[in-house]
Amino acid sequence: MKEFRDKVAVVTGAASGIGRALAQRFAREGMKVVLADVEPAALEQAAREIEATGTQALAVRTDVSKAAEVGRLAQAALDKFGAIHVVCNNAGVVTSSPSWMQTVADWEWVLGVNLWGVIHGVRVFTPILLSQGVEGHIVNTASMAGMICGPGAAPYNVSKFGVVALSETLHYELTMLGAPVHVSVLCPGFVNTNIFDAARNRPAALAETAPKMPGAEEMEQMARQLLAAGSPPSLVADVVFDAIRNERLYIFPHPEWKQYITSRMEGIVAERNPTLGTMEEVFSRLRGSN
């Protein structure tokens, strides 16, 4: 995609973190931006910040886990701006506990936002982009947890591997059509966001959480430290924009992590069981990659 001025971008999870940075990056390119999130106050503030730069913005409160709400988001964007050119399916949440201790509510919440949110986005927005007959792009936010995985966040890992698979499948399908619409899958490492505080927006109907295993608080604290020391969301947004412009499927803002993808794939081909070592060794290794 080469032309951005006066085009329309829709970004979910836009009230904070990577989503907010993406919305701001698109606005700097002269795009009209539709921001979606479940957190209304922060969403409105993010939209006001963009409008203050002289760019048109629209805030639409949206629970991406619900197909009807994603459909209403698309209609609101079309009603306001008449077209949609870039869609970032970006909303994400996480829970932390061993696989067998995660509750059904944990699984439903994480998969609902992280995976079904992207599925709904692809189902709703892809036909719109294709029908316009002009350049368009879809960005699905996965994670390095969609390329490699470790213990303690099974629903998150499953959701992110699913987003990668969906994005690769969509890439093949759009290529077969010869469509001017392309897709990217974003797989960042550690980024300085508040994803570990996402439970503040967790639906009451899915409030049952898993009990913490011994050492869980220490693990979460280490993970929070890694995030706090991670890349600023604005850096990730710059990398994403470059990938859209160059129609690149895989987006790795942290290339130092590629060695772990290579190691995993080589181990799979060799049919070796993966080993991580102690959790202290895992976090020490990840700290060195950050």
CATH code of residue 285: 3.40.50.720
Give the pLDDT confidence score for residue 230 in this predicted structure: 75
Give the pLDDT confidence score for residue 276 in this predicted structure: 67
Ranges 54-68, 142-156, 205-219, 231-245: which has the least confidence: 205-219
State the pLDDT confidence band at 286, using cuts at 50, 70 and 90: low
Cα–Cα distance for residue pair 161/168, rounded to 1 Å: 11
Residue pair 231/256 in contact (Cβ under 8 Å)? The answer is no
**How many domains, the chain?**
1
**Does residue 243 surpass a pLDDT of 80?**
yes
Q: Verify whether residue 260 is a known catalytic residue.
A: no
Give the pLDDT confidence score for residue 149 in this predicted structure: 87
Average pLDDT over residues 163-176: 99
Residue pair 92/15 in contact (Cβ under 8 Å)? The answer is no
Residue 150 lies in a domain: yes
Cα–Cα distance for residue pair 118/114, rounded to 1 Å: 7
Domain that holds residue 222: 8-289
**Does residue 209 surpass a pLDDT of 70?**
yes
Residue pair 105/206 in contact (Cβ under 8 Å)? The answer is yes
Residue 3 lies in a domain: no
Ranges 122-131, 190-199, 244-253: which has the least confidence: 190-199
Q: Which of 156, 172, 250, 260 is labelled catalytic?
A: 156
Residue 2 lies in a domain: no
> Reduced to 3 DSSP states, what percent helix, strand and coil does the chain have, rounded to the nearest 5?
55, 15, 30
Residue 1 lies in a domain: no
**Does residue 278 surpass a pLDDT of 50?**
no
Kind and range of the H or E element at 87?
A: strand 86-89
State the pLDDT confidence band at 290, using cuts at 50, 70 and 90: very low
